[in-house]
Structure 1
Amino acid sequence: MARTAGRVEIPWIGTLDRAAGNLSRQVAQALREAVRNGDVLPGDALPSTRLLAESLQIARGTVIEAYQQLIAEGFLESRGGAGTRVAHALAEAPPASEPRAVRGRTARPVLPEPATAFAQIAQEFRPLPHVPFAISVPVGLTAPADIWRRLGNRLRAKGPGAPAGYTDPLGALPLREAIASYVRKSRSVRCEPGQVIVTSGTQQGLFLACQVLLGPRDQAWVENPAYRGVTAILESTGRRDTMVRVPVDVEGIDVEAGIRKAPHARAAFVTASHQYPLGMPMSMARRNALLAWARASHAWVVEDDYDSELRYEGYPFPSLQGLDPDRVIYLGTFSKILFPSLRLGYAIVPDDLVDAFCGARVLMDRHPPNADQHVLAAFMAEGHLERHIRKVRNVYFEHRVQLIETLETLLPKELAWIEPGDQGMHFVLWLAEGIDDRKVVDLAARAGVSVRAVSPTFAPGTARPGLILGFGGFSGAQMNVAAQRLADVIVAEAQSPGRRGAVREPSTGKVGSRRRTSCN
């Protein structure tokens, strides 16, 4: 039979002065102060008189007397079977004194520069509510719930996913073997299991790559626009001035522009299969040029293979890594195709970099959690992942077509238009010049719609207004309602008096904006 602790720690009681006597009054006063200071809140349960007496090593009658006094004063309330609690009525009363954390403070402390930067990042990356059009919300038909639970029940109890000691920093071997086999077949990646490092997702893979590949003054190419996760890493690790933003056009990253800007950069961070956020794949000519530059400059290419599985027309593009395994660090994740809370991804690195990545990983979090690695390995080995991807691709294709048709009906092309593309679980809705996409995001959130602004993905001075819309895990009815609300917000913002440039009624006028085909 499980035993419960016989003593309870109550730090807010403090130390009783036994020489002063009247311990009941001291206990009551300590409880009053705890309530006033917010150490215990209205509705909080207090220890039983027996446990508190044992903890303070005083007579139980002394505690009973203190409780009865506070019940009479209205600080506490006692109901049969529910124990003694801080009175709920105190929640409506103004505090008798300032909280302990505020007392004696004359001014807010000045935060270190890194703390300020990371606090800003925390605000920027706060998860969106799971309503349309948040990205990567796998519900309903796109969640592998039943199979995942069955495998988990089998492997977590007495199987390889059972609680264990420290494990390999590279990750569980069965999962690394399954990943190596999967990417060879699906992405033309050339690797062995020993080159696979299991991560907590692409974000961790990007951080490891920055730690391993870049010295303090090394320059790095980053697409413009780019995934905010990589630019935030470089900014927060003191590499803002060595980050070189390279423009993107319909063929992907402009390699010639990168060479002009920083010919001796140490690394290039690219989303070759599905550029984030715009969606186009990198052309074969650009791929060859990028790898030729990397070989000639002894540089590395970090390939974030974002949404590569979700191409709706034709086959997914092969990886950059397969063209030059010795110069490319390949990053993938299962968070998008399965579910984000899984927090499992992988980095595939050249043999010469395996120990370096492993060492950086050890200092970060030692090794990935063990149980879900084995569940995922079984999920892949039994063929469930391939079937799941086919199902997800079909569902997302239908959702994408429906959302595009709905938005094109609701919004005039002069006001908002969709970036063309044929893959992924999101697309970009460009907004007419002069519309503040961040303001649209805030207004949409108030209307119950989740979207992200495109402008923060650009380098300063090059931003264009637009919205990133996910369409994965929502029903058609949900998306139709959200699309109407979003359209109403965009039209209202376009017609607001404070906007630069006049926007007439969509049915009678046009906006003088032209669509651009490149991002400088």
Structure 2
Amino acid sequence: MAKVVELPSIAKINKSQGKISAQLTQALREAVQSGDLQPGDPLPSSRELAQTLGVARGTIIEAYDQLLAEGVFDSQPRTGTYVSHALVKTSGIQHSSKENKPNSIPLTKSARSYAKVLDEFKPLPHVPFAVSVPVGRTQPSDIWRKFGNKYRSRGAGVPSGYGEPQGVLSLRIAIADYVRRSRSVHCEPEQIVITPGIQQSLYICSQILFEAKDEVWIEDPAYRGTTAIFEHTVQNIRMVRVPVDEEGIQVETGIRFSKNARAAFVTPSHQYPLGMPMSLARRTALLAWAKQQNAWIIEDDYDSELRYNGQPFPSLQGMAPDQVIYLGTFSKVLFPSLRLGYAVLPKELVASFCGLRVLIDRHPPAADQHVLAAFIQEGYLERHIRRTRNVYAEVREYIIGLIEKYIPQELAWLQPGDQGMHMVLWL
């Protein structure tokens, strides 16, 4: 079967409207002028193009010869015909002035809002001490590559169709065991949904948990990814900013501000951005409020693995599995580009969570899930976390020493915290 040539610029040729070769010559000339064809682009052979258009080959040769004579095309023996390299790349010059004019269709309020989000959440620069970006010494390149190669070597045995929206079962089993041992999270694999990370999990929670005019507690200060969701994507839901102190979110203040709030979004293990853990008294008070009000707690446990002194508090989810939605990620301990996290949900929320997830991106990449499952099951994740923790502890102590040596306390006060990938310097 002859190869079908894809050349959209010739679609307007009409056999009933005059000489075909002249129409083709003009269409190809305009394609070069508009930038649809760029210098060096190869042209289909005269035989292929003739078969595509259903015309005589001589018609194509006539059009090509005309453009060769004009210097628009070049031709070399055994290399075929192509757009002349002598032409300057146009990038659509012939219609650029029109394209630069504002579209007559105005952008909606939501379109303008999302454009601001894109500008605000640009990727972090590759510079030393970028917040939440793992350093090179902590990346598990060799082991990860080994598992990836092993998975790909299975060839035909590798799943190639659409995957399960909830995520690969082997990874959910591995995560259920891991969070039970490391964070006292009580769940079954059926309660876990694999996501691209905490950001998507927060977004889905914001869409499925609330009705119009509901109020939600948000820590003040808070992770910007959480507040941006409620500012830009959720209609008629009011954020109630509840201050934090050295014990975490001030539950009594939250009750005073909005006793009947439908949920609280918190970072109890390592408050973001200030760094303190939520005290046991505050955890108990928060869960008591949630139980009394039948409210949800969304627990963002973004970097609890990286604790340098003492033992971490157990998760809120382990204290109240039916009221806490537990969100975790592998971005901090592995690498952000992996884009794999998870949500541990009360059973009644799993179908709703997965349903919205299907509409967003159907399912997470299967290959990375299988690799991560093996990485966890064979013990490499916990070994990697121990090594990473040691590296960051060393860097942390070094930075603290430099700050204490060169910055007087009357100018700045360091709040290092006991875990995580950043410290707070108060000026």
Q: Same fold (TM over 0.5)?
A: yes
Q: Quick check: 10-19 or 280-289, which moved more?
A: 10-19
Does the 8 Å contact 1:114/1:236 carry over to 2? yes
CA positional deviation for 1:420: 2.4
| Pairing partner for 1:49 from 25, 46, 51 | 46
How many residue pairs were aligned? Answer: 427
Does the 8 Å contact 2:36/2:92 carry over to 1? no
Give CA deviations for 1:126-152 in whole Å, capped at 9, x if unaligned: 212323233444463322222222222
Quote the RMSD (CA, aligned, Å). Answer: 2.8
Q: Quick check: 46-55 or 243-252, which moved more?
A: 46-55
Aligned to 2:281, the other structure's residue is in SS state helix
Structure 2 Cα separation of the partners of residues 319 and 202 of structure 1: 16
Classify 1:90/1:406 alpha carbon distance in 2 versus 1 (closer, same or farther; 3 Å).
Answer: farther
Q: Quick check: 26-35 or 401-410, which moved more?
A: 401-410
| Pairing partner for 1:267 from 263, 269, 272 | 263
- Is structure 2 residue 33 aligned with structure 1 residue 39? no
Aligned to 2:333, the other structure's residue is in SS state coil
Q: What letter is aligned with 1:69? A: Q
| Pairing partner for 1:370 from 349, 366, 369 | 366
Q: How does 1:388-407 map to 2 (within 5 A)?
A: 388-406=384-402
CA positional deviation for 1:383: 0.5
CA positional deviation for 1:73: 2.9
CA positional deviation for 1:24: 2.9
Give CA deviations for 1:472-512 in whole Å, capped at 9, x if unaligned: xxxxxxxxxxxxxxxxxxxxxxxxxxxxxxxxxxxxxxxxx
CA positional deviation for 1:35: 2.1
Give CA deviations for 1:170-215 in whole Å, capped at 9, x if unaligned: 2222111111110111011111222112122111211221122111
Q: How does 1:92-491 map to 2 (within 5 A)?
A: 97-99=94-96, 102=99, 107-138=103-134, 140-158=136-154, 162-239=158-235, 242-406=238-402, 418-430=414-426, 432=427
| Pairing partner for 1:11 from 1, 8, 13 | 8
Partner of 1:486: none
Structure 1 Cα separation of the partners of residues 392 and 80 of structure 2: 52
Does the 8 Å contact 1:160/1:374 carry over to 2? no
CA positional deviation for 1:62: 3.3
Structure 2 Cα separation of the partners of residues 413 and 81 of structure 1: 76
Where structure 2 has 5 or more consecutive residues not aligned to the other structure, the ranges are none
CA positional deviation for 1:242: 0.8
Q: Quick check: 357-366 or 214-223, which moved more?
A: 357-366
Aligned to 1:360, the other structure's residue is in SS state helix
Give CA deviations for 1:325-371 in whole Å, capped at 9, x if unaligned: 12111000112211222221111112333333233333333333322
Q: What letter is aligned with 2:188? A: E
CA positional deviation for 1:234: 1.4
Aligned to 2:193, the other structure's residue is in SS state strand
Does the 8 Å contact 2:40/2:83 carry over to 1? yes
CA positional deviation for 1:95: 6.7
Classify 1:93/1:225 alpha carbon distance in 2 versus 1 (closer, same or farther; 3 Å).
Answer: same
Structure 1 Cα separation of the partners of residues 114 and 26 of structure 2: 41
CA positional deviation for 1:257: 1.3
Q: What letter is aligned with 2:113? A: A
Classify 1:343/1:29 alpha carbon distance in 2 versus 1 (closer, same or farther; 3 Å).
Answer: same
CA positional deviation for 1:225: 1.3
Percent of aligned pairs with the same residue?
A: 60
CA positional deviation for 1:70: 2.7
Give CA deviations for 1:68-125 in whole Å, capped at 9, x if unaligned: 433443433445665544344443679763249639x675431111111111111111
Structure 1 Cα separation of the partners of residues 333 and 119 of structure 2: 25
Does the 8 Å contact 1:188/1:322 carry over to 2? yes
Structure 2 Cα separation of the partners of residues 257 and 124 of structure 1: 30
Classify 1:132/1:96 alpha carbon distance in 2 versus 1 (closer, same or farther; 3 Å).
Answer: closer
Structure 2 Cα separation of the partners of residues 131 and 45 of structure 1: 41
Classify 1:183/1:27 alpha carbon distance in 2 versus 1 (closer, same or farther; 3 Å).
Answer: same
Does the 8 Å contact 1:160/1:371 carry over to 2? no
Classify 1:48/1:217 alpha carbon distance in 2 versus 1 (closer, same or farther; 3 Å).
Answer: same
| Pairing partner for 1:73 from 39, 51, 70 | 70
Give CA deviations for 1:281-320 in whole Å, capped at 9, x if unaligned: 1111111111111111111100000110001112233211
Does the 8 Å contact 1:202/1:333 carry over to 2? yes
Q: Quick check: 145-154 or 86-95, which moved more?
A: 86-95
Q: What letter is aligned with 2:129? A: F
Partner of 1:445: none
Q: Quick check: 361-370 or 82-91, which moved more?
A: 82-91
Aligned to 1:18, the other structure's residue is in SS state coil
Does the 8 Å contact 1:155/1:161 carry over to 2? no
Q: What letter is aligned with 1:353? A: L
Classify 1:92/1:290 alpha carbon distance in 2 versus 1 (closer, same or farther; 3 Å).
Answer: same
Aligned to 1:191, the other structure's residue is in SS state coil
Structure 1 Cα separation of the partners of residues 16 and 99 of structure 2: 32
Give CA deviations for 1:398-445 in whole Å, capped at 9, x if unaligned: 233334445566666666654321211223344x5xxxxxxxxxxxxx
Structure 2 Cα separation of the partners of residues 400 and 7 of structure 1: 61
Give CA deviations for 1:48-73 in whole Å, capped at 9, x if unaligned: 33333332233334334433433443
Classify 1:60/1:391 alpha carbon distance in 2 versus 1 (closer, same or farther; 3 Å).
Answer: farther
Classify 1:397/1:65 alpha carbon distance in 2 versus 1 (closer, same or farther; 3 Å).
Answer: farther
Classify 1:91/1:429 alpha carbon distance in 2 versus 1 (closer, same or farther; 3 Å).
Answer: farther
Q: What letter is aligned with 2:184? A: S
* TM, length-normalised to structure 1: 0.75
| Pairing partner for 1:59 from 56, 59, 62 | 56
Q: Quick check: 86-95 or 277-286, which moved more?
A: 86-95
Does the 8 Å contact 1:142/1:392 carry over to 2? yes
Does the 8 Å contact 1:321/1:329 carry over to 2? yes
Structure 1 Cα separation of the partners of residues 403 and 70 of structure 2: 62
Classify 1:107/1:366 alpha carbon distance in 2 versus 1 (closer, same or farther; 3 Å).
Answer: closer
